[in-house]
């Protein structure tokens, strides 16, 4: 197993493979898999090729060359609606912080990917289903703005169930806010790249997820706005097989490429170098 990267050590976190459970079951083919082997295989089932959902920490380890300098790491959500259903929103987010080791559903920072300096945001489905509330929206916006100041490309890896219900309108507003940040960034002529992973839905798909210059989908991911069942029941039509999969979206021109997890870093490197060569040729 690769040694724990320094940035992860500084964070006081352990790679997922070092956590307590030794085995995992593939949700697709039910194969029982040894976690340490799975980590070596980048959390891809060796039997059926299913991509396990991975934490933001594992994803950064997968993509960043060496160091990752996190920014806005202390931002913590408030409770704008004082929301309570079965449990209060405050209790839910506190539980997610403990469970995931994260302050929110996205980590943002700066690193190099395959030799190219970038701003990188990585969402984590384990924190409130990767939903976008005020803090996710703010962190995405801050990252994109800082990339603009540093004249760096921005990359965001999405994994999200959509807008965060418990923040209501404040969550929905983040769609407009992040979209505006992406539009301002585009005016600077800098590249914005998203990687849509399983699942990328709702408000994130309807804002920055699909607003990138290059949209990469990880293979086998579920990507869409509303869920299949909701659409089925609304339009009362049978939806085609593979609807809302990465591969279906590629066939229909909604994403630019579908990439296997193992190829993600070199592919991002290639795309980033393509833009870097053109940026170098044009004065800022
Ligand atoms: Zn499997």
pLDDT of residue 2 exceeding 70:
no
> Looking at the structure, do residues 135 and 238 belong to the same domain, yes or no?
yes
Residue span of the structural domain in which 62 resides: 55-281
Whole-number mean pLDDT of the chain?
Answer: 93
> Looking at the structure, do residues 162 and 222 belong to the same domain, yes or no?
yes
CATH number, domain containing residue 140: 3.90.226.10
CA of 38 to the centre of ligand 1 (A): 11
**Model pLDDT, residue 130:** 98
Kindly state the average pLDDT of the residues 159-169. Answer: 97
Lowest mean pLDDT, pick from 189-198, 221-230, 256-265: 221-230
CB 155 within 8 A of CB 121: yes
pLDDT tens column, 117-141:
999 999 999 999 999 999 999 999 9
Dist. CA 150–CA 189, nearest whole Å: 13
Q: Helix crossing, 264-281 with 56-63: angle to 10°?
A: 60
CB 225 within 8 A of CB 186: no
pLDDT of residue 284 exceeding 60:
no
CA of 102 to the centre of ligand 1 (A): 28
**Model pLDDT, residue 11:** 83
> Looking at the structure, do residues 191 and 60 belong to the same domain, yes or no?
yes
Dist. CA 214–CA 10, nearest whole Å: 32
Which residues make up the environment of ion ligand 1, defined by Cβ < 5 Å? 26, 28-29, 31, 45, 47-48, 50
**Model pLDDT, residue 81:** 96
pTM, entire model: 0.94
Lowest mean pLDDT, pick from 102-116, 211-225, 228-242: 228-242
> Looking at the structure, do residues 1 and 128 belong to the same domain, yes or no?
no
* CA nearest to 49, candidates 267, 263, 223, 266: 263
**CA geometry: angle 46, 264, 177, nearest 5 deg:** 125
> Looking at the structure, do residues 73 and 134 belong to the same domain, yes or no?
yes
Q: How far is CA 279 from the centre of its chain?
A: 26
> Looking at the structure, do residues 201 and 276 belong to the same domain, yes or no?
yes
pLDDT of residue 1 exceeding 60:
no
CA of 154 to the centre of ligand 1 (A): 32
**Model pLDDT, residue 65:** 95
CA of 86 to the centre of ligand 1 (A): 34
Kindly state the average pLDDT of the residues 192-201. Answer: 98
**Domain final residue, candidates 11, 32, 52:** 52
User: Which residues lie below 8 Å from residue 9, measured CB to CB, with a gap of 6+?
Assistant: none
CA of 31 to the centre of ligand 1 (A): 6
**Model pLDDT, residue 228:** 83
Q: Write the burial class of residue 281 (CB in 10 Å: 0-12 exposed, 13-18 middle, 19+ buried).
A: exposed
CA of 33 to the centre of ligand 1 (A): 9
CA of 42 to the centre of ligand 1 (A): 13
**Domain final residue, candidates 17, 34, 52:** 52
Q: How many domains does the chain have?
A: 2
> Looking at the structure, do residues 7 and 146 belong to the same domain, yes or no?
no
Count of alpha carbons within 13 angstroms of residue 191, beta-carbon side: 23
Band the pLDDT of 15: cuts 50, 70, 90. Answer: low
Write a three-state SS string for 134-183.
HHHHHHHHHHHHHHHHHCCCEEEEEEECCECHHHHHHHHHHHHHHHHHHH
> Looking at the structure, do residues 81 and 192 belong to the same domain, yes or no?
yes
**Model pLDDT, residue 9:** 84
**Tokens representing residue 193 in the block:** 């790249």
pLDDT tens column, 49-68:
999 999 999 999 999 998 99
User: Which residues lie below 8 Å from residue 121, measured CB to CB, with a gap of 6+?
Assistant: 106, 107, 108, 139, 140, 143, 154, 155, 156, 157
**Model pLDDT, residue 16:** 66
Band the pLDDT of 223: cuts 50, 70, 90. Answer: very high
Band the pLDDT of 14: cuts 50, 70, 90. Answer: low
**Model pLDDT, residue 282:** 67
CA of 202 to the centre of ligand 1 (A): 27
* CA nearest to 105, candidates 85, 81, 82, 122: 122
> Looking at the structure, do residues 104 and 22 belong to the same domain, yes or no?
no
Dist. CA 124–CA 33, nearest whole Å: 22
pLDDT tens column, 243-269:
999 999 999 999 999 999 999 999 999
Residue with the two structure tokens 């405050």: 90
Please tell me the total number of residues recorded for the chain in this structure: 284
**Tokens representing residue 131 in the block:** 């939903």
Q: How far is CA 274 from the centre of its chain?
A: 22
> Looking at the structure, do residues 150 and 174 belong to the same domain, yes or no?
yes
Dist. CA 15–CA 4, nearest whole Å: 7
Kindly state the average pLDDT of the residues 5-27. Answer: 79
CA of 219 to the centre of ligand 1 (A): 14
> Looking at the structure, do residues 41 and 81 belong to the same domain, yes or no?
no
Helix residue ranges per DSSP H, 188-263? 202-205, 228-235, 246-251
> Looking at the structure, do residues 31 and 63 belong to the same domain, yes or no?
no
């Amino acid at each position: 197993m690769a040694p724990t990267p320094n940035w992860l050590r500084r964070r006081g976190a352990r790679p997922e493979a070092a956590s307590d459970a030794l085995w995992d079951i593939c949700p697709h083919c039910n194969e029982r898999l040894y976690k340490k082997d799975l980590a070596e295989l980048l959390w891809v089932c060796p039997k059926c090729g299913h991509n396990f959902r991975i934490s933001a920490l594992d994803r950064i380890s997968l993509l960043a060359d060496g160091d990752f300098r996190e920014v806005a790491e202390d931002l913590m959500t408030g409770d704008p609606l004082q929301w309570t259903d079965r449990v209060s929103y405050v209790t839910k987010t506190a539980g997610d912080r403990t469970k995931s080791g994260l302050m929110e559903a996205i980590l943002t920072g700066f690193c190099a990917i395959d030799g190219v300096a970038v701003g990188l945001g990585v969402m984590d489905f384990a924190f409130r289903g990767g939903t976008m509330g005020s803090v996710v929206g703010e962190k995405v916006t801050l990252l994109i703005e800082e990339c603009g100041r540093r004249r760096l490309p921005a990359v965001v890896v999405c994994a999200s169930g959509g807008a965060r219900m418990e923040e209501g309108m404040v969550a929905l507003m983040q769609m407009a806010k992040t979209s505006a940040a992406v539009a301002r960034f585009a005016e600077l002529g800098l590249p914005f790249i998203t990687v849509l992973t399983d699942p990328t839905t709702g408000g994130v798909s309807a804002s920055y997820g699909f607003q990138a210059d290059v949209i990469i989908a990880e293979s086998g991911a579920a990507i869409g706005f509303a869920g299949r069942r909701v659409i089925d029941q609304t339009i009362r039509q049978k939806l085609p097989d593979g609807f809302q999969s990465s591969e279906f979206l590629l066939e229909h021109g909604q994403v630019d490429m579908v990439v296997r997890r193992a190829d993600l870093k070199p592919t991002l490197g290639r795309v980033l170098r393509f833009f870097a060569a053109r940026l170098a040729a044009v004065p800022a």
